[in-house]
Amino acid sequence: MQSFYKVVQEDFAEVNTLIVNQLHSDVGLVENIGHYIVDAGGKRLRPLLVLLTARALGYDGNQHLSLSAIIEFIHTATLLHDDVVDVSALRRGRPTANANWGNAPSVLVGDFLYSRAFQMMVEIGEMGIMKELANTTNVISEGEVQQLVNARNPEVTEQNYMTVIHKKTAALFEAACETAAILAGADATTRKAVRSYGYHLGVAFQLVDDVLDYQGDAEELGKNVGDDLAEGKPTLPLIYTINNGSAEEAELVKQAIINSSLDKLQQIVDIVQRRGGLEYTQQCAQDHINRAKQAIALLPETEFRSAMEDLADFAIKRNH
C-alpha cells in the first residue's frame, strides 16, 4: 500500500463502506450498475484528496467521510456519461457499464449518482461546500462539451487544450481540496494554497494519461492504447507534434485526428516519440507537480502533508 493511503487507511475504509451504503436504491438496476462501476476499483484519488487535505489541516470530525463519498459519486457519474459520449467499450481493463447495459441505463444511473451526491451535500449543510461543488459540476460539464467541440479538430491550440483539461479533470481535484479546507475552517490563504495543489495535481494527472495513451499497453492501462486518437481527441502530444514535426508528419497526424483513424497508429506513435511530443508532455506534467508541492509548503509539517507530496510524486511516475 502506498504511503499516501496508509496515513488515512481507516478513513479510507470507512469511505468505501459509506459509498456502498449510499448506493442503495429500490430500483435493482441502479444498484447493479452503481456497484459495477464503483467496484471497478481505480485509485480513488479524488476522495483520497479530501481525506488527506482535511487531516493535514487538523480536521478531527467525521464529515470529511461523507464529503469524500460525494466527490467519488460526482466523479463516477462523469465516468458513466463520458463512456457513453466516447462510445467506450473498455475502462480499467473490463467492459464499461454502457457496453454491458446500454447507453440509456448508464446515463440515468449517472444522474442518480449526481443527485445522491447533492442529497449528501445537503446533509453536511455547509453552504460554502454546496456552492463550490455546484460550480464545479457546472465547469466539468462545460469541459465535456468543449472536448466534444474539439473532437476531430487538428487546429486546437495548446492553450485551448489546457483549458479543457482544467475544466474536465483538474476542477474536481481542486474542489476536493478546497471543500476539505472549508470543512476544516481554513483561512482564505490556506484554501487558495490547497486549491492550487489540487489544480496542478489534476492537470499533471491528465497529462500523464495523455502520455500513457501512446506508450502504455492496454492491459496495464485498462483501456485501449490509441483510444484518444480513435476518438479524434487532439491531446497535447499530438498538438506538440503537429507544431514541431515536418509538414508531412503534421499532415499525417492531422488526418488521423480528422478521421478518428487508427490505420497508421504505429507510424503516428513513432512520429510523436521522435518529435518529442511525449517528452514535452511529461515535462509539462513535471512542472505542474513541482508547483503542486510548492503550493502546500505553507501547511504544517505532518505525515498528511508528506503524503500529499508523495501523492504528487506518484502521479508523475505511474505507469497506469
pLDDT in tens, 239-281: 999 999 999 999 999 999 999 888 888 888 899 999 999 999 9
- What values do phi and psi take at 264, rounded to 5? -120, 35
Q: Is the pLDDT of residue 236 over 80?
A: yes
pLDDT for res 128: 97
DSSP assignment of 71-124 equals HHHHHHHHHHHHHHHTT--EETTEE-HHHHH-HHHHHHHHHHHHHHHHHHHHHH
How many CA atoms within 13 Å lie on the side-chain side of 68?
26
Q: Is the pLDDT of residue 222 over 50?
A: no
86-90, 127-131, 185-189: range with lowest mean pLDDT: 86-90
Mean pLDDT score across all residues of the chain? 92
pLDDT for res 218: 47
Residue among 198, 229, 204, 38 at smallest CA distance from 132: 198
Amino acid (one-letter) located at 1: M
The answer to whether the CB of 221 falls within 8 A of the CB of 212 is yes
